[in-house]
Structure 1
Amino acid sequence: MQPSIHSLLRGLAVALLLATVSLYGHAGYLYSKAVLAQWLIADAWQQSLAEHKPVRPWPWADTWPVARLKYQNHDTVEDLYVLEGAAGNSLAFGPGHMAGTALPGTPGNSVVGGHRDTHFAFLKELQVGDHLQVQGHQGEWHTYRIDQARIRDINQGPLWLESGVDALQLITCYPFDSISSGGPLRYQVSLLRLNND
């Protein structure tokens, strides 16, 4: 006895429905995991400020929050926690502080990297003269003004960092709308710390 066309279509519809539910379930799981991670990172930052020492957001984390960045203009509001380390394990959860550079909000030149399609997607909206707030590890807030934005090719050598200035470099891959990752171009936003802090 051969199955009818109706039973074949019904079986195909059930299979498609199950596949759709599975995909949406997985996407929902990933979204929930990302939201939970941000709550845990925010809580770890508050504990770090209260205890005056780094606090990991979860016991097995190999990173911890070292600063907080806030940017707001008419259409965009960003409130991000900067994690220690600029490797993929940190960048998956937020922008990462590059080891060997000053911590954000402290004297010196600090470098923070982030993914162009998630946490640092807003960099394309920034304009010279805009302000960004940084909360340092002691809880103090500092104001930085965007001095310049430029595109750099890492094949032409390392990114140059001026010494002797209190600055913040926000770096992400470029172009923002590229469908491939890992190219040699970087978008670098340079901010200078204002003296009125």
Structure 2
Amino acid sequence: MAGFIIIVYILLPVAYWTNSYGAKKFPFISSHVFSYDGQPYNISRILNTKTFSFDQEAYDSYSKVNLSIFFVFTYGLSFATFASRSSTKNSSSKANNSISMFSSDQFGCKHEICSEIILAVAFVLSVIACEGLDKQLQLPYWGIILAMALAFIFTLPIGIITATTNQEPGLNVITELIIGYLYPGKPLANVAFKTYGTISVTQAIMFLSDFKLGHYMKVQ
């Protein structure tokens, strides 16, 4: 609560009234992007209509992307929370004899095999979607592998944070940053990579939540 009050009622108003990042040209709270004169950003002016790729010359002649001061803080805090979740470690705990606890070995391995088959099929279909269809999604196969690796690495720390705080931090900011540096100028590839990296973790957390409910209900 203290952090919320400091950011929303102190830092944001101070940053706005001191015109940090030209804040007074843009709305105080908005998730949209703006041009230099405070008008909504015309994205079509900086895209190559034939290849749907980023046009650097058009961007330089038009305007850099501007954000509202609220969104600037949102992005900044997103990177801060990313750093904190990266250092999250799972504390060990001893098993107890609670009535809600039971061995997962009772399930056998058939459920795990089904999950692995679904994962393999989803991966193949994802590669076909990105590499096929005349490569309209712009994302190469290695982007899918990298997105899967990020999801694999961050599912555990994000799951711990979600379980202990009931708040699920996302990977959307860091996935946008990574693919933006590795494969610049491809907006559809950026969105596809963000989807595979972020939504995979979200779906995994939802799946684990269902498992947790089944665990407490002793569903076998």
User: When the two structures are superposed, what TM-score results if normalisation uses the length of structure 1?
Assistant: 0.23
Structure number with higher helix proportion: 2
More strand by share: 1
TM-score, structure 2 normalization: 0.21
Of the two structures, which has the highest relative contact order with CA contacts closer than 8 Å and spacing of 6 or more? 2
